[in-house]
Amino acid sequence: MNVQEIHNIREACITILSGTKHNSVLFEPCDKFDEVINSLDIDPDSKETLRRSVSLLVGTRNHKRGCNIDKKTKDMLNKVYEQKQYLTKEEREFVAKKCNLTPLQVRVWFANKRIRNKNTKM
Full-model pTM: 0.48
Among 50, 53, 26, which residue's Cα sits nearest to residue 38?
Answer: 50
The pLDDT assigned to 23 comes to: 42
Q: Per-residue pLDDT tens for 83-122?
A: 999 999 999 999 999 999 999 999 999 999 999 988 887 6
Neighbours of 70 (CB within 10 A): 10
Q: Are 20 and 61 spatial neighbours (Cβ–Cβ below 8 Å)?
A: no
